[in-house]
Structure 1
Amino acid sequence: MQSAFKILIVFSVMITTTSYSQSKNLKLWYDAPAANWNEALPIGNGRLGAMVFGNPVNENIQLNELTLWAGGPHRNDNPDAKDALKDVQSLLFQEKYDEAHRLANDKFLSKTSHGMPYETVGNLRLNFKNQDNYTNYYRELNIENAVNKTTYTANGVDYSREIFTSFTDNVIVIKLTANKKKSISFTASMDRPEPAKVEHFTENNNVLVMTGFGSNNKNKRLPKETEAIKGEVEFDSRIKIVTKGGRVEAKNNTLEVSKANSVLIYLSIATNFINYQDVSGDAHKKASDYIAFAEKKSYENLLESHTNFYQEYFNRVSLNLGTSEAAKLPTDVRIKEFKDGFDPELAALYFQYGRYLLISSSQPGGQPANLQGLWNKDLTPPWKSAYTVNINTEMNYWPAEVTNLTEMHEPLIEMVKDLSVAGQETAKVMYGAEGWVTHHNTDLWRICGPVDGATWGMWPTGGTWLTQHAWEKFMFNGDLEYLKSVYPAMKGASQFCLSVLTPEPTNGWLIVTPSISPEHGPKGRSKGVNIEAGTTMDNQLVFDMLTKTILAAQLLNVDAGLIKEMEAALAKLPPMQVGKYNQLQEWLKDLDDPEDKHRHVSHLYGLYPSNQISPYRNPELFKAAENTLIQRGDPSTGWSMNWKINLWARLLDGNHAYKLMGDQIKLVGRPGSPKGGGTYANMLDAHPPFQIDGNFGFTSGLTEMLVQSHNGAVHLIPALPDVWKDGKVTGLRARGGFEVSELVWENGKVVKAVIKSTLGGKLRIRSYNELQLERSNLLVEATGVNTNSFYQVPKIKNPLLTNATNIEQIALKPSYLYDVDTKKGEEITLIQK
């Protein structure tokens, strides 16, 4: 059924929604201190981060600053690659994979740097006197106001600690109080893990300073004669203690507080980093100035401005999936019992926790969230805590637009711009190509050459995937000025694709080679030999990159000649293929193993986050993607399970997506707990170890279950699981410049939807139950280009080749489509018919 609303024709009764207001239980809380780092609670302002343990006796606050990395400005291109390129391609076309792998390792991998690790600043330690025997213990992280709190009783005194990382004043603020005077005595010190070298000094008897540099770094994979990259990031970490009552003294690199009534601690960290080519800043002046500015304000003013800033972002989206008695339990207990119980509020909290983490780790003007977001306790963290761009960095930003945090997307977009400049030299030196390239990993210094080994690093489409985000942001804002700012990066990524596309010998299709399907290879190959020609994911990425650049060029009325080149190349790309096991093929040849349980499902990029595979446009591919996901299985590492939540949501199977949520929300990291991926007690994702992309993937996955906008329509509750029969969400965003101001469902059916059009143009709504228009109110004027006419379905269709003979038909729920002509700023209300 299809209907086009033209005028207001329906009057209806008001729908009561008060029972669906956002849950107020937006707290992680515990009845014991953190036993280890994976139980500490994260706070951050996009630049400064801390993990708070909440120990009454020996408090540890582990510190981070997002520009403190090892090494300094450098490049890591290998110029030997260009001369070896044809040889590697020839070996691949001859199916001499071992030889191609060895040659790629020798000639493509960097001889200077495999990337720098992100480093911890160190620790602030507060050691309290006479508080060993404590009772009434409680600690929480309130993600409604981004404040951490610890309370307990010792020796008849009630103690309280409040800690927040100020968004507005650039310091960490710690307030210590007690309900009896002269009860607060402790020492404060700072340290950094070995082998780091630091200096300590004190100023004016109440300021303690720790300074040092990021490490010199040389990867063990590099030749012995290779010199380490010198650590050039200087940092200054300092605390200032202000007491009411009592006194403060400096002793042996510590500050000692005696018999205070209350204490205020200002903690400031700064580095000399200016940009990836410039480390000429003054870390000491910045760190000192931050405290000097903050201490002019009262604690109440610091807290109020911090909270107001944070809530401007956080309060844009609310979610209510229902309530249960489980919400009365500590968070670690709820995580442990989630899969076998009913706790819809925990799913909603997990969703909002992802938004909290993104706001806290990615702020405009700063660096993007890395593999651990902002929070890392090590000098050499797992996988360097770098930017792994073969999925993990991209996954960090999947929630940005859809959950109304578009500003948080900016640091990633700015990194794409940086890489589009740095990667031009890499493209020229290594491939003799136009445009720009980066491979599977980058860092603060925007390295673009391959690292870690051909098994992982021989993947030249990292920049191609990252640049999808530049277009994705435009899909939500329709801002031509913004599009102009990112078009050079899009154009350069497409030019690289055009330069390196090579005809494969059998069909003459244009493919990327050498490359890999990230971190995975066909069955039967030598261990670690993943190198291939024309992987499905690369074909999908190139298709998206060229298609989107064509659309951008047409909107900006530029590069007519380049458009023709891209259109010609698109016509020669390989099609997606269905293999002998009715699976979507991962490689050009039918090499998939139905028993393969590998964590990466890279060829399903075409299903999510892309929109190339649709039940309405190419059901055969849609079913093949589902078969692939079934064959891979559900259990995996944390981030992989969360990607699968998104994939099952795109497959319109809410119950299976919810089942994976249960696989993810299981307590790991404690004695006797399950192994593998899951959730630590502090609700951070366990790969294991901790990777933040899993948290962000969960948030985007739950969003996809409630609202989708990739397939030509704003689809309401497309993948709702049976357990969430009634609920309400506000503030989610849809492509085309639409905001779902309010969405209410009862008994699995939409009963009310309020959608605001920020750009005007055609709004198409898809619903499983019949709706009718209630009212249309004109709100504020907005500016921009309506993208709804082209953002969903590429103008140039990807062809289909299938070898399958018995692939079953998909069964879709009947749906209703409604077209509404909207004006800029108009709000449309639909109700159940």
Structure 2
Amino acid sequence: MTKLHVNKDLNGFIAILFCVLICSCTTTTSDKNSDSLKLWYNAPAADWNEALPIGNGRLGAMVYGIPDQENIQLNEGTLWAGGPHRNDNSETKEILGEIRQLLFEGKYKEAHTLANAKIISKTSHGMNYETVGNLRLNFEGHDSFSNYHRELDLEKAVNRMSYTVDGVQYQREVFTSFTDQVIVIRLTASEKGKISFSAGMDRPKPSVVQVSTEGNNILTMTGRGADLKSKRTPKDAKPIEGKVKFESRLKIVPQGGSLTSTDNTLILNGADSATLFLAINTNFKNYKDVSADEHQHAAKSLLNLEKKTYEQLKTNHANYYNKFFNRVKLNLGTTDSINKPTDIRIKEFSKGNDPALAALYYQFGRYLLICSSQPGGQPGNLQGIWCNQLTPPWKSAYTVNINTEMNYWPAESTNLSEMHEPLIEMVKELAVAGKQTAEDMYGADGWVTHHNTDLWRICGPVDGATWGMWPTGGLWLSQHLWDKFMFNGDTEYLKEVYPAMKGATEFCLSFLTPEPENNWLIMSPSTSPENRPAHHPKNVNIAYGATMDNQLVFDMLTKTASASRILGVDDALIKEIEATIPQLAPNQIGQYGQIQEWIHDWDDPEDKHRHISHLYGMHPSNQFSPFRTPELAEAVRNVLVYRGDPSTGWSMNWKINQWARLLDGNHAYKMMTDQIKLVGRPDSPKGGGTYTNMLDAHPPFQIDGNFGFTSGLTEMLLQSHDGAIHFIPALPDVWKNGSVSGLRARGAFDIELMEWAEGKLVKVIIKSNLGGNCRIRSYSQLKLEGDNPLKKSEGENENPFYSTPNIKDAIISSKAKLQGFSIPDTFLYDVETNMGQRYVLVGE
């Protein structure tokens, strides 16, 4: 055993700092709980679904807050199984015509079997996102504690806990530094010499844990991602070799006490305080290159900290985080519930009015997006960046038939545009990787990806025809390229992403094929994601001309044509698009007054499936509108009523967005009460909802529900997709008074402030970053500050960001009796704005 002695002589500054820390430790619980932007609890986490998430976009950790045996579960965004590879099935090209003919002849079962044999990948069904492992801190004798408190501070992105043992108060602070790219842990006590613990690391898969030969205050853990063979690949298929190597390096810097070590443990005794630094790095460079030096990067990360104090590290971390988080402030009011622990508030939310919890849930979603998706890193996956397994549910991969897209619905509207960048970069990479997939599998132009991808940007279909036979994943992902432009208006950005948009459109144009009954151009073979018709002749998912595909193709073509015109390129492509759009399949309203999910009227009003793919045209797209297409809006509402409110977590949050687009704030709020219900404990109800730590329960945990909630609440307060900026379009009765600042609207308008009282707008401050006509929609009359009347809107909005959205005409079933959607009267105003100017509107 080696031993390191630490000087106990503290200078005056450190002594003063120590006193300050002690004072902070003794802050009363009531003071701590007064902050509305904290998740807090009076007991340690009982399991992973009660631990609290921290992250910096690359590093993630779940902190349990256990006094005697702390567990901090670790992730690094590029630690995945496998290595660079492709998973295309080249046999597809030779049977594409055959499978289409089978579908057109109604031989769905035969088509399903053929798709499994000749289209679904035979080499890889995607790799797993993996945990790094655990950092374990053992404090002997701390199992008998009192005065316990733990919290997640959303304003500082810091996890804290405090408790008392034998009259001594202990405090821990943990954060994942955005600026220094390490996990930082600070341990303090109200008396000197009371910090004693041992530190070790472990991983579910064998790894090497040892005290570094470079110094006995450093503990290392090294390993690599798994070799992985998918269960659905042939028996003789080789596993994809695990090429991602990682190194975790823990350094303990104590004040006072003695630091010793065994072969695989660090032991600190009798210190006044201690700061722990944990660096985790991999050899990943990009999806084709794993040649980085993980050891060098981890060692350098710790070396760079040597001249920085703990307070400097925490301040730099908070300052970086705050420049994003503080952009949006939301006040929906408070009640006495704010003084209760967060788990109790979640449990009681549906029983009373706790508007501050809805606001906290909203801001928690923004916190999670900042912490799981940073520029230069990977996009958030199915669990963001937090995963405690080697074989997580659904591989914790990128499921792009809704879940990945939902992760980024709040990015632009809630003023976190920078967090959108990792997804944009992934789409650009998929456009490169998917070009070979389109050619090799379908003999098609452009690029394609299916319903799932991973770190290695696989583009072939996985998981069997029931899920994977869906060739329009690239089309949905590409909507984000255009949506980002709609918020920033940056033509230089549009030039960067236009090739990916063009490639997705080229795939559509070469893959579309006429169906036999109406000669409409449709996508085939495909599915309506993960659902099958109850009355399908063969009870399989495979289909052609699914409504969602028709809507996605329509959006892809129209948006690419708009981008081409803006950039002044590809006239021939524009002409081809214009010739194709009239031939696309329309939306259809079926016998139950519903948007048909399939090209045939197979819908069943008893179908409670979680996916509502055919409502993409309402949200996140803007093809349907209560104002422009009231019959289609009513048909959307009918689907939502048939499907019902209870569902998986992410599905309920998508429905919040749908009801907001239908201008029904009270039903959207009702969906919020279904989502904010406590699940995961023995006495909890089953189904979707919210875990104790406020993470969304599918179940199990999926982060998309958190982001869907934040998006949905934003849609209730502000919409800008339908030719105007609509203020409080779906305000529920329970939020009669409130304010929000910092939201963004399309056309590069910042809503710097919006206040309402008794359900009516009081004041709005708009900043125009591009200039142009700002069309405003409101349920109440408005005027410019200083009693200046507003100009009533007339005709088409001349601002190109607010031109009336296009739609493919719908076929209304003769059996459906639709009256059109009933909407309240609104006022429409125009304000001609100048770049950089602010405009103040007040209610009359």
TM-score range, shorter chain: over 0.9
CA drift at 1:155: 1.1
Partner of 1:801: 811
1:225-240 to 2 correspondences below 5 Å: 225-240=236-251
SS at match of 1:791: helix
CA drift at 1:342: 1.1
Question: Which among 557, 560, 571 is matched to residue 546 of structure 1?
Answer: 557
1:281-360 to 2 correspondences below 5 Å: 281-360=292-371
SS at match of 1:666: coil
Partner of 1:139: 150
Partner of 1:589: 600
Question: Which among 372, 381, 406 is matched to residue 383 of structure 2?
Answer: 372
SS at match of 2:204: coil
Partner of 2:616: 605
CA drift at 1:152: 0.3
8 Å CA contact 2:159–2:173 kept in 1: the answer is yes
Take 1:487 and 1:617, find their aligned partners in 2: how far apart are those partners?
Answer: 29
8 Å CA contact 1:51–1:61 kept in 2: the answer is yes
Partner of 1:11: none
8 Å CA contact 2:623–2:806 kept in 1: the answer is no
Take 1:792 and 1:446, find their aligned partners in 2: how far apart are those partners?
Answer: 34
Q: Given the two structures, how large is their TM-score scaled by the length of structure 2?
A: 0.94
1:148-187 to 2 correspondences below 5 Å: 148-187=159-198
CA drift at 1:200: 3.0
- Closer/same/farther in 2, CA of residues 135 and 788 from structure 1, 3 Å limit: farther
CA drift at 1:143: 0.3
> Mind listing any 5+ residue stretches in structure 2 that lack a counterpart?
1-33, 789-796
Whether 1:204 aligns to 2:236 is no
Question: Which among 420, 430, 436 is matched to residue 431 of structure 2?
Answer: 420
Take 1:542 and 1:345, find their aligned partners in 2: how far apart are those partners?
Answer: 41
CA drift at 1:571: 1.0
- Computed over aligned residues only, the root mean square deviation of the Cα atoms, in angstroms, reads 1.3
Higher relative contact order (CA 8 A, sep 6+): 1
Partner of 1:572: 583
Whether 1:257 aligns to 2:265 is no
Question: Which among 634, 640, 645 is matched to residue 629 of structure 1?
Answer: 640
Take 1:286 and 1:181, find their aligned partners in 2: how far apart are those partners?
Answer: 35
SS at match of 1:303: helix
8 Å CA contact 2:211–2:261 kept in 1: the answer is no
8 Å CA contact 1:775–1:829 kept in 2: the answer is no
Q: Given the two structures, how large is their TM-score scaled by the length of structure 1?
A: 0.95
Take 1:490 and 1:820, find their aligned partners in 2: how far apart are those partners?
Answer: 32
Whether 1:660 aligns to 2:671 is yes
Take 1:502 and 1:273, find their aligned partners in 2: how far apart are those partners?
Answer: 41
CA drift at 1:24: 4.1
Take 2:646 and 2:373, find their aligned partners in 1: how far apart are those partners?
Answer: 29
Take 1:394 and 1:809, find their aligned partners in 2: how far apart are those partners?
Answer: 30
CA drift at 1:776: 12
Partner of 1:452: 463
Partner of 2:799: 789
Partner of 1:684: 695
Take 2:778 and 2:356, find their aligned partners in 1: how far apart are those partners?
Answer: 25
SS at match of 1:571: helix
Take 1:478 and 1:93, find their aligned partners in 2: how far apart are those partners?
Answer: 43
8 Å CA contact 1:599–1:640 kept in 2: the answer is yes
Letter in 2 for 1:39: E
8 Å CA contact 1:712–1:764 kept in 2: the answer is yes
CA drift at 1:197: 3.6
Partner of 2:656: 645
Letter in 2 for 1:498: L
Whether 1:672 aligns to 2:683 is yes
Take 1:792 and 1:710, find their aligned partners in 2: how far apart are those partners?
Answer: 8
Question: Which among 735, 738, 742 is matched to residue 753 of structure 2?
Answer: 742
8 Å CA contact 2:151–2:159 kept in 1: the answer is yes
8 Å CA contact 2:58–2:377 kept in 1: the answer is yes
Whether 1:717 aligns to 2:717 is no
Take 2:804 and 2:598, find their aligned partners in 1: how far apart are those partners?
Answer: 23
Take 2:511 and 2:135, find their aligned partners in 1: how far apart are those partners?
Answer: 50
Question: Which among 741, 749, 753 is matched to residue 730 of structure 1?
Answer: 741
Partner of 1:781: none
- Closer/same/farther in 2, CA of residues 627 and 666 from structure 1, 3 Å limit: same
Letter in 1 for 2:812: T
Question: Which among 475, 478, 495 is matched to residue 489 of structure 2?
Answer: 478
- Closer/same/farther in 2, CA of residues 526 and 657 from structure 1, 3 Å limit: same
Letter in 2 for 1:513: S
Partner of 1:270: 281
Runs of 4+ in 1 over 2 A off after TM superposition: 196-203, 524-528, 787-797
CA drift at 1:403: 0.1
8 Å CA contact 1:141–1:148 kept in 2: the answer is yes
Q: Percent identity?
A: 65
Take 1:301 and 1:261, find their aligned partners in 2: how far apart are those partners?
Answer: 20
1:428-507 to 2 correspondences below 5 Å: 428-507=439-518
Take 2:764 and 2:560, find their aligned partners in 1: how far apart are those partners?
Answer: 33
Letter in 1 for 2:520: W
Take 1:553 and 1:330, find their aligned partners in 2: how far apart are those partners?
Answer: 53
Partner of 2:777: 766
Take 1:243 and 1:618, find their aligned partners in 2: how far apart are those partners?
Answer: 67
8 Å CA contact 2:723–2:804 kept in 1: the answer is no
SS at match of 2:616: helix
8 Å CA contact 1:652–1:719 kept in 2: the answer is yes
Take 2:506 and 2:801, find their aligned partners in 1: how far apart are those partners?
Answer: 22
Letter in 1 for 2:813: N
Q: What is the number of equivalent residue pairs in this alignment? A: 801
Deviations 1:220-262 (A, max 9, x none): 1111100000000000011000100001112130000111100
SS at match of 1:265: strand
8 Å CA contact 1:727–1:745 kept in 2: the answer is yes
Question: Which among 91, 95, 107 is matched to residue 80 of structure 1?
Answer: 91
8 Å CA contact 1:684–1:695 kept in 2: the answer is yes
CA drift at 1:130: 1.9
Take 1:233 and 1:490, find their aligned partners in 2: how far apart are those partners?
Answer: 31
SS at match of 2:683: coil
SS at match of 2:517: coil
Take 2:221 and 2:827, find their aligned partners in 1: how far apart are those partners?
Answer: 63
Take 1:797 and 1:512, find their aligned partners in 2: how far apart are those partners?
Answer: 18
Take 2:755 and 2:299, find their aligned partners in 1: how far apart are those partners?
Answer: 50
CA drift at 1:795: 6.4
1:82-97 to 2 correspondences below 5 Å: 82-97=93-108
CA drift at 1:524: 3.0
SS at match of 1:338: helix
CA drift at 1:676: 0.2
Letter in 1 for 2:579: A
Partner of 1:5: none
Question: Which among 818, 823, 833 is matched to residue 834 of structure 2?
Answer: 823
Partner of 2:547: 536
CA drift at 1:488: 0.2
CA drift at 1:469: 0.1
1:505-520 to 2 correspondences below 5 Å: 505-520=516-531
Higher mean alpha-carbon deviation, 561-570 vs 364-373, is at 561-570
